[in-house]
A and B are shown apart, each in its own frame.
Chain A
Amino acid sequence: DTEVTQTPKHLVMGMTNKKSLKCEQHMGHRAMYWYKQKAKKPPELMFVYSYEKLSINESVPSRFSPECPNSSLLNLHLHALQPEDSALYLCASSPLTRQGAGGYTFGSGTRLTVV
């Protein structure tokens, strides 16, 4: 299995809702990532998990809450989002080597619309 699976593919939520994005990989990668991408912009790093521990938080607002229950799963819990949080949310994984992270494998993303 050489894929990263993200669910749901599309999500519309109100500003008072709580929802979760899910990401799963079975490649044995020990680093997992959340990126946010606005239209016609590059992906922006949000969170990095290494060996199931949060290693990087790029000053993301607390209305985004990541969770890594095990080495195959990564969640992003959403609460009280704003319309400007509407974007494509991308999950990625990579192996970790002594030379650093290997190439990322990206999921196809969740397109989130906040209304």
Chain B
Amino acid sequence: SQQGEEDPQALSIQEGENATMNCSYKTSINNLQWYRQNSGRGLVHLILIRSNEREKHSGRLRVTLDTSKKSSSLLITASRAADTASYFCATDAGGNFNKFYFGSGTKLNVKP
């Protein structure tokens, strides 16, 4: 069963704009991850944030985690056409470190 839900389901922006995607989950977690998927192929790991962390950065990516609201957000700054992809959050099932469930995903389209 899916642990997370993401919104929006689809997002279309112009190159250079920022993109924000949100993920909400249902049960307590140890870790939350964000992934990117191009054209239905393999997923690429972007960032892992642990439950005791509130914010992490990696290049143009910024992830926040609010465990009290059971939510996370992924911000992509200064977006590029190459950022066009589906983005998924994945959460573990709290007590089980290995059991990651993926959210429903946000399909991002960055127009050149």
How far, in whole Å, are A88 and B102 apart by their CA atoms in the complex?
15
Complex: chain B residue closest to A55, CB-CB:
B98
B2 and A101 form a contact (CB under 8 A): no
Q: Is the interface of A mostly helix, strand, loop or mixed?
A: strand
Number of interface residues of B (CB under 8 A): 27
How far, in whole Å, are A31 and B96 apart by their CA atoms in the complex?
13
B102 and A43 form a contact (CB under 8 A): yes
With A42-B105, A101-B31 as contacts: A106 and B97 at CB distance below 8 Å = no
Classify chain A's interface size: 20 to 34
How far, in whole Å, are A44 and B4 apart by their CA atoms in the complex?
12
A76 proximal to B (CB < 8 A): no
Closest 4 CB pairs of A and B: A100-B97, A42-B102, A103-B45, A106-B42
A sample of 20 more A-B contacts (CB under 8 A), given A45-B99, A50-B98, is A4-B42, A33-B100, A37-B40, A43-B102, A44-B102, A48-B98, A88-B40, A90-B43, A99-B50, A99-B97, A100-B92, A103-B33, A104-B33, A104-B45, A105-B45, A106-B42, A106-B43, A106-B45, A108-B41, A109-B42
Could you write out 9 A-B pairs with CB less than 8 Å apart? Answer: A31-B98, A33-B100, A42-B105, A43-B102, A56-B99, A96-B98, A100-B98, A104-B35, A109-B40
